[in-house]
Amino acid sequence: MSHETIYRWIWKDKAAGGGLWIYLRGARKQRRKRYGRYDSRGRLAGKKMIGSRPASVETRKRIGHWEIDTVHGKSTACVLTVVERRTGLVRIGALRRATKELTTRRTISLLGHEAHPIRTITADNGCEFHDYEKIEAALKIDFYFATPHHAWERGSNENTNGLLRQYLPKGTDLAGLTQSQCNRLAAILNNRPRKRLGYRTPNEVYYSRPVVALQS
């Protein structure tokens, strides 16, 4: 007999006027069934999912398609990482908290003066990206969301976050991390040779290609 069967029997007994439920540790709050249930956390009406993103983004042939995520420590402070898919170039921003307001402002400040046009950004389904329309308007780009629990759809970002963990291990308190320190960490990663780039660095590839002045 499963615990779910026991709980259903107890609540059926309560509905019939029985008193077995008062012996439950959480007697004042009816137990919620956590599976097979619609989960509204992180939901946002109208957002564009990765399935509607142009297929050409997958080819990594064009600079300007980015992935975005937050990396957390033991406090509420975290860092924002934004990775360019073609070159692996990363921008890193310090955040006191992963709120949608702070995340939006930091994203715009990190990408507002790029050498190449920003074309798309793809995020996970975290609530910190719920102001994505402001990012779209400010950067004149399309913002997409990956399928929930499909981390491989943002593989560039996941891999870069793994490299960043060498300098910011899990459990690190990020509250004292400054933007200047984030910029230095980004510089280290952007000057690190990558096998997939023919052992060139993200900086070398990003800045060696022709630069288009206007967004498209």
Q: For all residues of the chain together, what is the average pLDDT?
A: 87
Ordered by where they begin, the domains of the chain are 1-28 (no CATH), 53-208 (3.30.420.10)
Predicted pLDDT at 210:
58
Please check the confidence at residue 98 and state whether its pLDDT lies above 60: yes
Query: What is the pTM assigned to this prediction?
Result: 0.77
What is the distance between the alpha carbons of residues 178 and 164, in angstroms, rounded to a whole number?
15
> What local confidence, expressed as pLDDT, does residue 195 receive?
94
Q: Please, which contacts does 204-208 make with residues 24 or more away whose CB atoms are closer than 8 Å?
A: 205/86, 205/87, 205/88, 205/89, 206/63, 206/84, 206/87, 206/89, 206/115, 206/116, 207/115
**Whole-number pLDDT of residue 199:** 96
24 band by pLDDT with thresholds 50, 70 and 90: confident
Give the other-Cβ count within 10 Å of 131's Cβ.
19
| Mean pLDDT, rounded, for 157-171 | 94
What does the pLDDT read at residue 215?
43
pLDDT tens digit sequence for 49-63: 999 999 999 999 999
Question: Tell me, what's the pLDDT at 7?
Answer: 74
pLDDT bracket for residue 211 (50, 70, 90): low
